[in-house]
Amino acid sequence: MLAAELIDPMLPALKPSDSVGQALDWMQEHRVGQLVLADQGEYRGVISEELLMDVADDEQLLADTMRLFEKAYVADDQHMYEVMGLAIQNRMEVVAVLNESREFIGTISASELLKQFAQELGVQETGAILILNINERDYSMAEISRLIESNQVKIVSSYFSSAAYGMPDRSKLTLKLNRRDIGPVISTLERFGYKIEAAFANAPVESIDQERLDSLLRYLNT
């Protein structure tokens, strides 16, 4: 999903001619701590409720207040993951979206972005979560998918986390599956030499190395 598709049409943009009091009212109305400041299509930064609370005069214009993230924004054709990375890196509650002409076209809410991200990962779908300890040089998603699908189970989403430098065998692969009963999946993966670090499911999982792995399975109620 691209940034343009994530714009929240309900979030207003502030103008330099708006007052501190107006900005605070809008933030309270929309339950956000930040709003974008734009001047006739030009992105000027982000106005923060925290900073506005320190302004003594509610009638002071936003043109005369401090702005944040003047250089932090996304293009309308950037991927959702890039938007998420920018928001997390800068701890932004809202992200401005600019078109190819560098004109401000809308605002992305970080809270709605997180909800969309969760949907993309299949977080809300019923199914187990499996975490593999894996060596980077042995990592083959094609092979892992084949082994899992041989048990009539499909991968809903996956996330690969590289290990610290010099420790390639400590990388992790997190898998969201579409089934709760993943005992056969674990048995198959272990049979082919994969090390299971943890599993989360609603149904009992019998691992051939369950004792050695020290309480492999935990249960989550969904």
DSSP state of 208: T
Identical fold for domains 3-119 and 129-219, yes or no, is: no
Place of tokens 């997180």: 114
Residue 217 clears pLDDT 50, i.e. is over it: no
Please provide the CATH number assigned to the domain covering 129-219: 3.30.70.260
Per-residue pLDDT at 219 = 34
Dihedral (C-alpha) 175, 181, 183, 186: value to the nearest 10 degrees? -10
- Give the start-to-end residue ranges of the domains of the chain: 3-119, 129-219
Per-residue pLDDT at 159 = 84
Residue 60 clears pLDDT 60, i.e. is over it: yes
Q: Which pLDDT tens digit goes with each residue over 149-193?
A: 999 999 988 888 887 666 656 788 999 999 988 999 999 999 999
Residue 79 clears pLDDT 70, i.e. is over it: yes
Q: Which CATH class is domain 3-119?
A: alpha beta
Highest mean pLDDT among 54-58, 117-121, 168-172, 201-205: 54-58
Percent of the chain residues past pLDDT 90, beyond the cut: 64
d(CA 50, CA 89): 19
